[in-house]
Amino acid sequence: MSPTRQASPIGTEGATRVADVLLLFLGDADELGVTQIARELQVSKAVVHRVLQSMVARGLLSQDPERRTYRLGAAAVSIGARALRDSDLRSVAEPILRTLRDETNETTTLSQYFDNDRAYVAQFPSPQEIKMLVEIGRRFPLHAGSSSKVILSNLDDEHRQAIVDGALEQVTPSTVIDRMELATELEHVREQGYSVSRGERQPGAGAVAAPVFGYTGDVVGAISVCGPAQRFDEVTVARLIPQVVRAAQDISHGMGWSPRVASSAQGKEA
């Protein structure tokens, strides 16, 4: 039997605000209060309170009455898990990433592109005691780290330039935030088809990444092999590059991509 449903807050506008609240949880905060949400969405606390109570009633959020904060509820978690389960990219990539992990003995990851950032949606941890693990679902900027750069380098010129010209956070001391230097590096990454990074997004981490394309020829994500930077010396990186590029191409083919489609897309862009 379905649970009793309460009236929706306020039609289309209410649905938009529900979506906006959920999107706030893609940031670093696990819990948010009414005041913070109202400030972020630039609406009154009274309106935010009504929306939050409706979301709590439907299990999208849970409330801590003592701290007066809200966090994602069971229904939101279930929706996220279902979205990941039904992701074509993830289902195509997982067996290839598992094999790549077994071949390299390092953690392999899959990132998906979302507008102006990306998020890890799958990983296969290294069997080694000292390893790198990533946070699934958290959004990361497109200018820091090898997975980000292979995505950013393959966006259309206008979109790529807008990100390069925007706010570039100094994620770590190794993050490139000089715009000219970044633009030059992105051109190089696009030409060679892969990116190597050491400590750009996470101190002490090394990674080799390659882009994944969809059937339209547009970049949809990236895969990487990652681990402690000390294990990513020049010899190891040179061995990993063709393995990562080949795995990314296999996933792209599974998504319907072909070199002919990619060449056509680049021709239109030029």
In tens, the pLDDT along 32-49 reads 999 999 999 999 999 999
Three-state secondary-structure class, residue 194: coil
Query: What share of the chain has pLDDT > 90, as a percent?
Result: 66
Among 28, 46, 79, the domain boundary falls at 79
- Strands of the sheet containing 69-72, edge to edge, are 32-33, 69-72, 61-64
Burial label for 19, CB within 10 Å (0-12, 13-18, 19+), is exposed
Residue 165 domain-assigned (yes or no): yes
CB-side exposure of 114: number of CA atoms within 13 Å?
14
256: left (phi over 0), alpha (psi -120 to 50) or beta: left
Q: Is residue 118 part of a domain?
A: yes
The domain that holds 149 is classified in CATH as 3.30.450.40
Out of 26, 58, 79, a domain closes at 79
Residue 193: pLDDT band by 50, 70, 90 thresholds?
Answer: very high
Q: What is the pLDDT of residue 5?
A: 44
Query: Does 258 map to a domain?
Result: yes
CA dist., res. 50 & res. 47, Å (int): 5
The DSSP code sequence of 21-44 is: HHHHTTSS-S-EEHHHHHHHHTS-
What pLDDT digit, counting tens, does each position of 156-173 carry?
A: 999 999 999 998 998 899
Total of domains in the chain: 2
The CA-to-CA distance between both ends of the chain, in Å, stands at: 57
- Which band of pLDDT confidence, cut at 50, 70 and 90, is reported for residue 29? confident
Q: What is the CATH number of the domain that holds 19?
A: 1.10.10.10
Residue 12 confidence (pLDDT) = 67
Q: Are residues 148 and 219 in the same domain?
A: yes
Nearest Cα to Cα of residue 153 among 181, 184, 177, 187: 187
- The residue range of the domain holding 210 is 87-269
Examine the domain organization and report whether 117 and 65 are in the same domain: no
Same domain as 26, residue 142: no
pLDDT at 264: 43
CA distances from 195 to 29, 84, 237, 261 (A): 30, 26, 10, 22
Residue 88: per-residue pLDDT = 86
Global pTM? 0.70
Domain boundary among 28, 56, 79: 79
Confidence category of residue 85, pLDDT binned at 50, 70, 90: low
Bridge partners, 32 (sequence order): 70
| Statement: residue 91 has pLDDT above 60 | yes
Note whether 116 and 246 are same-domain residues: yes
Enumerate helices (H) and strands (E) in the chain, giving the number of each: 10, 9
105 three-class SS:
coil
My answer on whether 187 and 218 are in the same domain is yes
Label residue 86 by pLDDT band (50, 70, 90).
Answer: low
Q: Are residues 39 and 94 in the same domain?
A: no
Does residue 112 sit in the same domain as residue 157?
Answer: yes
- Which has the closest alpha carbon to 100: 257, 244, 254, 245? 244
